[in-house]
Amino acid sequence: MQPPIPSGTILQNRYRILSILGQGGFGRTYLAEDSNRYDERCAMKEFIPPQGSQYTLNKARELFQREAAILYQISHPQIPQFRATFEENQRLFLVQDYVEGKTYRALLNERKVYGSTFSEAEALQLLYQLLPVLAHIHTKNIIHRDIAPDNIILRERDNLPVLIDFGVVKEIVTRFQTPETDVPTTVGKLGYAPSEQMQTGRAYPNSDLYSLAVTAVVLMTGREPHELYDDRNLVWNWQRWVPQVHPGLAEVLHRMLSYRPGDRYQSVSEVAQALQALVTPTAIRPEQSVLPQSPALNPVPTPLPAPPARPTPTAANANLSQMKTIPVGRPAPANYTTNYSTQANPKTTPVRPAPTPVIPTHDTSIWENPWAILSVGLGIATVTGIAAWAIVSAILNTTQPAPTVTPSPTPIVETPISTPAPDPSPTLTPDPQPVEYSQPLNLQPNGAATTVEGNLQAHESIVYTFPATQGQTLTATLEGEGVLLSVLTPDRQPADDQADRVLSWKGPLNASGEFAIRLRPVKGIPASNYRLNASLEEPQQPPPEPSPEPSSSPSPSPVQPDFDVQFLNPDPNGSQVSAQTSDVRIKRYLVNVQPDQVLKAEILAGAVTLTIRYPDGRPVENASGVVTWDARIFEGGDYQIDVVATQPTDFTISVAVQGVPSADNSAN
């Protein structure tokens, strides 16, 4: 391995090395300045190819350039923009934008110092912000393979997560096979990458979803994957560290973390649909809608202690005394006023009137005081008026219906203890009205496929119309996450049971008229790009029969091959079998394999090839016309191993089934 490039070195007469950002087994990343872009900072990755022959280096260059061409197609605001590749001094370099910020690993370490981790709302927000990024790269058939807190940066300028360390190096090393060993190198962080990726080197879109879920539980728990994963029962036990997590979020994460790829969500759109109910205005509180800084910068305020509760009489003290309290002391002076607390509860504390001033008494008669006589007279007049009004009201009430009286609220003299008012009903924003566009599609029978691209919002759909005749075969496929197609007949009904809300459809048209292909977004995806490929084929016409010639005999019909089937129960170390196969009689071996077991097949002698098939007869991916095959099985049953040759040939093969079936299958 060549030594690191010293700081200050200038490459390609424009890139000046500032420092080393990181280093791994496959390369280094430097921080550099680009003099052609006003000394703008950039990240420059050096790929260190595997050591070997000139063939190794040439193959590495070829794959490196091919992968760089793929990255050139990626344009997403949460992915560092690709700039250039170059080679200098037998070193391969890739230049990308530099992202200013901290990795989620660094943010988690900062929080752990203060005894905290990421909240459930922050983990949910991270999932929802990274799913569109994964949808973008998966539509281009790119798998990241290394999602982890170290490879996600919280960008300072907008607080958005940015996915870094894209798999140029990882893709190359995973697919690169040296002629000497023919053994692929697997890629991924231990604990974050799923088993199929670490054991066989194969990765699928839901392999990235698995790694994203591991990242979420690590951020919420502050624990490493090996502390959360039970490798005996093949399950994740992370909820004991986050006992209050929302059941809906826990269910989504558990499915993303399934051991078998078939048990997980198969695409980003499925995860987005599952999270749709959780990502509402009430799911993330306003104060948590933006990821906070480290606890040192934003300390959590300590709540004030609640006031002591007012004692309630109990049976133990209810009978201490039944005697009324008797006031003792001198009478209050005439100018005495009582200052009651304004915090009393009017429902439980009666309003006590102010004490009546004590008026000294003497022997003078009340009738000797003219003011007293006037007061008595006014009182009598008032009582007489009230009585008269009551009599008149009673008479009127007997002839007229009583009006509905709305009682006025009684004024509260004392301020009550504040009771939390119910939250006002949120103002609902009406969903946009559905919009459907229509556009003709030019399909030429037996012509090249027609391709159209576009973007659909959540409330939009588009219908592509085209004329067709009965018997023609339509092929329609979609590229892109978040959009599904439906093939509609002239009466705007699905062409068959498999033609509604699918990614692809192929079949004969059973009528003549104007057909349509309708595209609609998947629920939960706000917007998505798509590419539709469609073609029409005329029905196959049988070739005309040639006129028989007297001197020639008719050509024999091709002979359909038959199969010589034999069931094998191979030894774990491998069982060798020998036989003969040909193009008209193919030797087929049936081998029972259970989930999590490894099936191996290898040709030891003979000019033959192997084709491995699922129990239902479908060919296994990348397993046709091979000389050796080795993979872990996720779907149990009797697998078929066909030994194929172009002429009668003797052969010898080795077949082995290794490993212990999964616990679920063993229980059955």
Residues recognised as catalytic: 146
DSSP letter at 71 equals H
In the beta sheet, which residues pair with residue 20? 30
Those residues whose C-beta lies under 8 Å from the C-beta of residue 12, and which sit 6 or more positions away, are 86, 88
Is residue 123 within 8 A of residue 107, CB to CB? The reply is no
Amino acid found at 211? S
Which residue in this structure is represented by tokens 């018997």? 471
Chain centroid to CA 514: 39
User: What would the two tokens of residue 496 be?
Assistant: 């068959």
In the beta sheet, which residues pair with residue 654? 576, 602
SS3 183: coil
Those residues whose C-beta lies under 8 Å from the C-beta of residue 121, and which sit 6 or more positions away, are 283, 284, 285, 288
Residues in the annotated binding site for ATP: 45
d(CA 328, CA 9): 98
d(CA 272, CA 270): 5
User: What would the two tokens of residue 64 be?
Assistant: 């490196």
Is residue 352 within 8 A of residue 414, CB to CB? The reply is no
d(CA 376, CA 383): 11
SS3 341: coil
SS3 8: coil
Q: How many residues does the chain have?
A: 668
Which residue in this structure is represented by tokens 């983990």? 123
Is residue 461 within 8 A of residue 520, CB to CB? The reply is yes
User: What would the two tokens of residue 131 be?
Assistant: 């799913």
d(CA 522, CA 502): 11
Is the torsion defined by CA of 641, 644, 649, 653 positive or negative? negative
Q: Edge-to-edge strands of the sheet including 575-581?
A: 575-581, 649-658, 598-605, 628-632
Amino acid found at 6? P
Chain centroid to CA 242: 19
Burial profile 326-344: b = 16 or more Cβ within 10 angstroms, e = fewer: eeeeeeeeeeeeeeeeeeb
Is residue 626 within 8 A of residue 566, CB to CB? The reply is no
Which residue in this structure is represented by tokens 């005495």? 336
User: What would the two tokens of residue 591 be?
Assistant: 């081998």
Those residues whose C-beta lies under 8 Å from the C-beta of residue 81, and which sit 6 or more positions away, are 75, 96, 97
